Amino acid sequence: MNPNFNTVDLIRKKRDGNKLNASEIRFLITEYTRGNILDYQMSAFLMSVYFQGMDFDETACLMQTMKDSGQVLDLAHIQQPVIDKHSTGGVGDKVSLVLAPLVASCGVCVPMISGRGLGHTGGTLDKLESIPGFRTDLSVKEFKRQLKTIGVAMIGQTAEIAPADKGLYALRDVTATVDSIPLISASIMSKKLAEDLDGLVLDVKSGNGAFMRDYKKAKMLAHNMVQIGKRSGVKTVAVLTSMDDPLGVNVGNSLEVIESIEALKGNGPNDLMEVTFALAEAMLRIAKIKGGRKLLEQKITSGAALDKFREVVEHQGGDAHIFQDYSLLPVSKHNIKVLAPKSGYVHAINTFAIGMLLVELGGGRRQKEDKIDSSCGFKIYKKKGDYVNKGEPLVEVFSSYVRGAHTKRTAVQDLYTIKRYKVKHRALIRETIS
């Protein structure tokens, strides 16, 4: 450990609102990654950043140090344009599972390094690992070989790629320090810029189901990450999307895999497909591939996008029979429907609380060592703006335990605000920043 720095002094310095220099940030992140700074000390530092923030230079340095904590990929052997996508997270957000194979089927190389669930939001890795046998822990060598072979791979941070972020990510999830602009920016961009990308598209969400509930803060986050991408020489576009409702119909790991497969078969719900197409079109524009929405729709209609997802599952050890038989996925058999207590229009859904109820059912983590129950979740029947009759189903609850499903009935019902008059819809795609 560097004798010139004291961990407690640096925590205190940030706690008191002072700026850390590059050497101090590098010391904290490097020594934590080596195991010389303990989880409880890093948790205190994260909380200091949460309350005091970081300026752009500090954030960029934090990102760079996290990126440099592991191997930076060299994908010069890939002939296709290398473009990735990342979401800041939302409830029911399974876009990556649909988008990665879809865009790869259009001739783009998609090296997707994803994360696990954070707080109330689900994680791409947790969803993929609900597929029997699916491996997200590919080595860098395996990752690069798969990209060369099929043009897409979906893995998590490893000891080789951004290991500092892997540790910090798990800590943030269980210390209520997730929704911090510098921490989110550094986490996302450290993984993505380690991929040797030509371009990056970011889905930055706002609304009651997002980490950045306030639209202005979400826009600040988007600008922050676009500027970090620009400084690093990577074409970066941020699309700001609404997260006031769960995205799509299903919430829960295996349920969302099923919905993703259905989307690639052409049966995706409108909101899920609108966000997926908007992000995919942005990726195609960066890659300078013509065709846009029409090309993407053709890849779904022809089955090419679905075939690409099947290739991903096969190459990463998953059971490809799930594409024909969803019963091979761990979906709970204990389910109840939550009925509307009165007639009227749905004015609001507490989407954040739906995400937290999923955690209570076992579909998310309270502690970083927690095991995920992939079988539980929710099916959403009514969303904001929909009319519902008294006694019609609002949500279906899936739980590994009969009692678990029934105890959530009243809680789920209370998440809906139903009134007699209609409500205005907020645009799903709000703005693009490049």
Residues known to be catalytic: 86, 165, 172, 187, 191
Beta-bridge partner residues of 378: 251, 397
Question: Please, what is the Cα angle at 32 between 31 and 34, to 5 degrees?
Answer: 65
CB 223, CB 186: distance < 8 Å:
no
Write out the E strands in 243-350.
250-251, 334-339, 344-349
Strands (DSSP E) along 212-276, which ranges?
235-242, 250-251
Strand partners, 433: 238
Q: How far apart are CA 237 and CA 403, in angstroms?
A: 45
339 close to 393: Cβ distance less than 8 angstroms: yes
Length of the chain: 434
Contact between residue 177 and residue 183 where contact means Cβ atoms under 8 Å apart: yes
- Residue 217 to residue 192: CA distance in whole angstroms: 21
Q: What are phi and psi of 111, to 5 degrees?
A: -95, 85
Strand 235-242 and strand 199-206: the pairing is: parallel
Query: Is residue 121 packed enough to be buried (19+ CB in 10 Å), middle (13-18) or exposed (0-12)?
Result: buried
